[in-house]
């Protein structure tokens, strides 16, 4: 009875070998580890993308706020320029019309009083009254046009601020 070593195995040895081979089944372990690595990588990648989106949102908000600030400064400067222009125009009207200075000055005061209005209705009423006084004013057409323009400009500014 000659037995070849390793060829004839007892069922216990065969079972132990199968278990050992299963424990050594590297492809299954590698596959599991790769799947875990893939999940971890996806979570990390998603976190990184969210962080990048937050940074981009922050930067976009910062740029938008800076743009809005610059626009408001520009608007304020343009308003100052317009206000200065109306003052120059008022000064020129008074210098050019020495004989009607008092009447022109009174109308100008009423024009500026539009800005003191407490509501839109009061402003419109003051504007209408001023326009009637300008229409009734007896002087050259350039003076009337300037006064109309001033009244319109002041009323428009009032509307934009309220």
At 99-139, the pLDDT tens digits run 889 999 999 999 999 999 999 999 999 999 999 999 998 77
* Beta strands per DSSP E along the chain: none
DSSP reduced 3-state for 113: helix
Residue 9: pLDDT band with limits 50, 70, 90: low
Closest CA to 110 of 132, 124, 126: 126
- DSSP structural state of residue 110: H
Which of 19-23, 74-78, 115-119, 154-158 has the least mean pLDDT?
19-23
CB atoms within 10 A of CB 127: 22
Specify the long-range contacts of residues 96-100, CB closer than 8 Å, at least 24 apart: 96/143, 97/139, 97/143, 100/137, 100/139, 100/143
Q: Rounded to whole angstroms, how far apart are CA atoms 111 and 89?
A: 13
Regarding pTM above 0.75, the answer is no
Task: Output the six-digit token pair for 62.
Answer: 């910062």
Express each pLDDT in 86-95 by its tens digit: 888 888 888 9
Which of 5-9, 78-82, 102-106, 156-160 has the least mean pLDDT?
5-9
């Amino acid at each position: 009875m000659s037995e070849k070593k390793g060829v004839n195995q007892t069922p216990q040895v065969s079972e132990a070998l199968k278990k050992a081979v299963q424990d050594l089944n590297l492809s299954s372990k590698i596959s599991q580890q790769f799947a875990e690595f893939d999940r971890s990588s996806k979570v990390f990648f998603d976190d990184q993308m969210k962080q990048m989106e937050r940074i981009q949102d922050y930067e976009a908000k910062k740029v938008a706020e800076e743009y809005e600030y610059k626009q408001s400064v520009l608007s304020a400067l343009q308003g100052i320029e317009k206000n200065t222009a109306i003052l120059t125009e008022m000064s020129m009207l008074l210098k050019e019309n020495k004989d009607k200075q008092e009447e022109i000055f009174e109308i100008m005061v009423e024009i500026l009083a539009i800005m003191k209005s407490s509501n839109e209705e009061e402003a419109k009423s003051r504007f209408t009254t001023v326009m009637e006084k300008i229409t009734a004013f007896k002087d050259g057409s350039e003076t009337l046009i300037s006064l109309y323009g001033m009244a319109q400009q002041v009323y428009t500014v009032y509307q934009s601020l309220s």
